[in-house]
Amino acid sequence: MKNILGLGNALVDALVMVRDEAFLQQLCLQKGAMQLVDNERFQNISQITSALHCELRTGGSAANVTLCAARLGEKSVFCGKPGQDCNSAFFRQEMMRNGVHVVPLSGGLPMGVASTFITPDGQRTFATYLGAGATLAASELQPAWFEGAGYAFIEGYLVQDHALIETAIGMARRAGAKVCLDLASYNIVADNRSYFLRLLENTDIVLANEEESHALTGLAPTAALDALAAMCPVAVVKVGAKGAMARRGQEHASVEAVKVPGVVDTTAAGDFFAAGFLVASLRGASLADALRLGAHCSAEVIQVVGTRLPEAAWSRLRLVAAECTSAS
């Protein structure tokens, strides 16, 4: 049985609901973006928000993908570097509880924390202190972790460490896994555009939202999808409330977004979409059905704070997964 391996930053999301965008301006944060912060700024932000209600969840793009994939019934492996503090213990326990195997790595720094601010429209803005996660090095990767992987999901947030990404791609290729690259945040793409274009030459599946695809190609979503598909075998562009579309060679598919009563928090929406798409693809589903499962996964997670879905939601998603892959 093939598994889904995720390589990325091991993070805990500290989720805070804020009253308006003025709060983000006070913290000098750009709405909807991910900004890296050092320990000093992280401590300053933590002090400012200490009086606000905060909820902890496991976080990090690749971690979210593996968690969702595991709850859908796939064997999942997370390759990242937690620290050695209470947040790290929380992260490991939650991932294991959800069925994800976390490789045995640990850093001397505290656990990375993504301070996540959610505005009333459900949009999330990150101020991310990478902590121990940033110390993950190419030399620590082990080929055995990639054995049995059907897909190796690599989050674009690792783009600063070229050696790490390229070593992981090499190990994935040698293990027979397909490489899936998520383009991270639009500001990360804009700052590293030429390198992302190079990475696509060794990528099997690329996933991007509308802003990220525009930052890379300069094109509107449909044209951006075609441009991305010309660079790698499978391209997916998510367009929020309008749904998502994918192209594989001459094959094109699209899906409408699943209607929900209300959007609470868009944290991990793209990650859960990716998990659904990869799980369905791993099971041999059509492009359209892979998009469909991704859309349902995304719809469930935007109705809760963070990534902790109620069991009823996971049951619904497993039923959709079975429907999407029944013909495979």
In a domain, 47, yes or no: no
pLDDT, position 327? 64
In a domain, 118, yes or no: no
C-alpha distances (whole Å) from 309 to each of 53, 68, 146, 282 are 19, 10, 28, 23
Global pTM value:
0.94
In a domain, 130, yes or no: no
Closest C-alpha among 168, 177, 181 to residue 149: 177
In a domain, 116, yes or no: no
In a domain, 51, yes or no: no
CATH number at residue 233: 3.40.1190.20
List pLDDT tens digits, range 88-110: 999 999 999 999 999 988 888 89
In a domain, 200, yes or no: yes
- The DSSP symbol for 32 reads T
How many domains is the chain built from?
Answer: 1
In a domain, 96, yes or no: yes
Locus of tokens 């959007």: 263
Report the alpha-carbon distance of residue 12 to residue 128 in Å, rounded. Answer: 10
| Cα torsion through 154, 156, 162, 165, rounded to 10 | 0
Residue numbers of the domain that contains 153: 3-9+60-108+135-325
List pLDDT tens digits, range 273-320: 999 999 999 999 999 999 999 999 999 999 999 999 999 999 999 999
In sequence order, what E strands does the chain have? Answer: 3-7, 11-17, 34-36, 54-59, 76-79, 100-102, 112-118, 124-129, 149-155, 178-182, 205-209, 234-238, 244-248, 251-255
In a domain, 288, yes or no: yes
